[in-house]
Structure 1
């Protein structure tokens, strides 16, 4: 079914307010989920709501807490998310970075004691819209199996990079694993098979049944017991396809987040503090040359790529193109949600005395 994105925004704001988030924070949290849904990134959209609310009920997320700036210099920030949603501390960090980068050219922020923060691209786009380069990273629950291992240890460890351009900023936003765990969640809700080599069991055998894969991921991500298996690194199930490169990429993000923040590494976020960490970097490209010239050069490069000779019936799309097209299309057609999520929204609405978004 499809729902109007404005109805989704209003519903989510009311739900978060009912769970003691401030009006400002409720609006931000709703916007991050709606933005993901509009861009076709349903793995990080409203289908996450029940999961978020369960963590609030379990006090993994503390909705009344506010982030604290622990250290600040002209070029750096260290922030304690104070066990609240990652979106709140990340929004604070990026706003501060944008303001300070105009003076100092390059800024870095690290967040500790955080939670899931939505899509990494959301924050990097904030930088690009201000004429800056933006980089965003996070670690996650242990979902990803290192090269030749049988047990999950790493997070899906997102990496986003943006650069100002027209008609829209360049946006690369992706996990350092084959997929994020949320994509498998969506397939499981729909009762669909996994189309590629995304997940393995404890014997490093590829799993195609999304519900089986989701059971594996739930066990490794939320319990201390390690049943074996998980999501594959970029490169798939064999070294011959260079899966050690995806492993290396994930480790880089792990070091920039959990290690640098002195928080939990992904392998330990399913016990104890349940804390995630984030890393942000902003750069003012105008220090290196006229911004309009730089934008023109990058736009020219993208257009040359889009117009390369290509396989009949296909289209060459630069990262971000597909999501911006979906964003425009879904504003008109509505946001698609699966039947399981629709049922969850009805239950949440009933519990809170609200009206769930209806199909359009």
Structure 2
């Protein structure tokens, strides 16, 4: 299906079954030297993003990972090892591996520790971009666990009252299981706008919202290319009067917990992604850092009772009187869940620039796409 509105997608898209996109990702990673099991894990992270409508973090990222492998900036066969450990904590060195592999393995360790001793915390250094944040807490839902994930990232965001990139978008994600209602799934960046959405706007040739970015001279801009070419994103809140000091502080928290605590790089010294960005002149740690936390619900309360309370919370929020011109409050995770329900059946809409990027990946790796 091409050049029509499908599943809310604009003209100029093609619809692909998620299985086809996942299989292409697996084979592309294997062609880059990634072991097949790891390639499947990485492809699962991308497929989850595509299914749940996080189009900036699915196959749209594949060409960038492949280029990083091509330049030797990601280790396809890392020796992921624990360098410090207690019953409830660990620090993991990802050996400069693919974040889509290092992240899930560290998250699994945090969940296993939580099931053993009640909670688990795993800090990660020497990793790379770990994909869409919500993937990680979603893994805890079937295990009666609450999982919290965060990561620092390459500098794209100016600190409050700053005019240059010093912090990453530094996202965090957490999910709460319900009994009869859908889970509450929270995934947010600490910037006013996600960097992937800026890239997507540039691909589509559309502006970004006001109050999200500045150009190289520190002036507000809605042109995504202004931000990409020497500008910066703003902290969540955009300016002091709208609470940007809070977004700035949240970004600092994620940076210090993911970077300084694990021994990873932080702030402007985090390694760049995608591959066309030059590495920083100074290093302060090893690679990108993550932090995963997991809590066993039964360590605090009966899990069924907790789920009932989440049900009640969801229904109470949904019952809020709608604001004028709206249909009423959404529950965190609603848009992504609805996207997954639709895309599992009807396929994933992919815009032409991403399709062209996948064709370039096919040409470089020898993996058939068309």
**TM-score normalised by L of structure 1:** 0.92
Match among 60, 66, 74 for residue 53 of structure 1: 66
Q: Residue in 1 aligned with 2:276?
A: none
Structure 1 residue 110 corresponds to structure 2 residue 123: yes
Match among 19, 40, 52 for residue 53 of structure 2: 40
Match among 333, 340, 345 for residue 358 of structure 2: 345
Distance (Å, rounded) in 2 between the aligned partners of 1:351 and 1:155: 30
- 3-state secondary structure, aligned to 1:35: helix
Match among 191, 206, 209 for residue 177 of structure 1: 191
CA contact (8 A) 1:83 1:115 kept: yes
Distance (Å, rounded) in 1 between the aligned partners of 2:265 and 2:366: 37
In the TM superposition, 1:55-204 aligns within 5 A as 55-166=68-179, 167-204=181-218
Structure 1 residue 258 corresponds to structure 2 residue 270: no
Structure 1 residue 278 corresponds to structure 2 residue 278: no
Q: Deviations over 1:63-100 (max 9, x none)?
A: 12231111222111110000011121221112222222
Distance (Å, rounded) in 2 between the aligned partners of 1:29 and 1:105: 28
Distance (Å, rounded) in 1 between the aligned partners of 2:348 and 2:99: 24
Q: Residue in 1 aligned with 2:249?
A: 248
Structure 1 residue 10 corresponds to structure 2 residue 23: yes
Residue 128 of structure 1 and its aligned partner are, at CA, apart by 2.3
Q: Residue in 2 aligned with 1:319?
A: 332
Alignment RMSD: 1.5
Q: Deviations over 1:148-200 (max 9, x none)?
A: 11111011001111122244322101111112211111111111111332211
C-alpha distance 142-242 of structure 1, shift in aligned 2 (>3 A)? same
Q: Residue in 1 aligned with 2:4?
A: none
Residue 209 of structure 1 and its aligned partner are, at CA, apart by 1.5
Distance (Å, rounded) in 2 between the aligned partners of 1:297 and 1:84: 40
- 3-state secondary structure, aligned to 2:121: strand
Residue 313 of structure 1 and its aligned partner are, at CA, apart by 4.3
CA contact (8 A) 1:67 1:88 kept: no
Q: Deviations over 1:4-43 (max 9, x none)?
A: 1110011111100101111111111111111101111111
CA contact (8 A) 2:103 2:130 kept: yes
Q: Residue in 1 aligned with 2:369?
A: 356
Distance (Å, rounded) in 1 between the aligned partners of 2:111 and 2:240: 40
C-alpha distance 313-148 of structure 1, shift in aligned 2 (>3 A)? closer
Distance (Å, rounded) in 2 between the aligned partners of 1:81 and 1:22: 15
CA contact (8 A) 1:94 1:127 kept: no
CA contact (8 A) 1:191 1:211 kept: no
Match among 224, 229, 232 for residue 230 of structure 1: 232
Q: How many residues align?
A: 344
Distance (Å, rounded) in 1 between the aligned partners of 2:357 and 2:298: 47
After the TM superposition, which of the residue ranges 60-69 and 110-119 deviates more from structure 2? 60-69
Distance (Å, rounded) in 1 between the aligned partners of 2:138 and 2:72: 30
Distance (Å, rounded) in 2 between the aligned partners of 1:66 and 1:122: 23
Q: Deviations over 1:239-265 (max 9, x none)?
A: 111100000000000110111012211
- 3-state secondary structure, aligned to 1:66: coil
After the TM superposition, which of the residue ranges 206-215 and 247-256 deviates more from structure 2? 206-215
Q: Deviations over 1:209-243 (max 9, x none)?
A: 22332233xxxxxxxxxxxx30110101x211110
Distance (Å, rounded) in 2 between the aligned partners of 1:118 and 1:208: 25
- 3-state secondary structure, aligned to 2:92: strand
Residue 51 of structure 1 and its aligned partner are, at CA, apart by 1.1
Distance (Å, rounded) in 2 between the aligned partners of 1:295 and 1:233: 33
Unaligned runs of 5+ in 2: 1-12, 271-278
**TM-score normalised by L of structure 2:** 0.89
Distance (Å, rounded) in 2 between the aligned partners of 1:356 and 1:214: 29
